[in-house]
Structure 1
Amino acid sequence: MVNQLIQELEIVEGYEVEPKIGNQHQQKPRNQRWIPLEHGLCKINTDAAVDGARSKGAIAVVCRENNGEFVAASAMTVPNVTDPETLEAMACLEALALAEDCAIRKMIVASDCLNVVRNIKEMPRSFECAKFAHEAGRHVWFGSPPVFLDVNAIK
Structure 2
Amino acid sequence: MQQFKVTIKSDKGDEIVLGNLGEESKDRAANAIAGTVTGVDVRFDTIDENVTQKSHGMIARVTVYGRILKENHKTLKEVMQWAIDNKGDMEYRNVLVEMIVSAGEEAYGYEIPDMFVVDYAESYHGEGSGDGSVQKLPDTFELKLSQRANYLSEINPF
TM score, norm. by length of structure 1:
0.24
Q: Which has the higher contact order (CA 8 A, sep 6+)?
A: 2
Q: Which has the higher helix share?
A: 1
TM score, norm. by length of structure 2:
0.24
Q: Which has the higher strand share?
A: 2
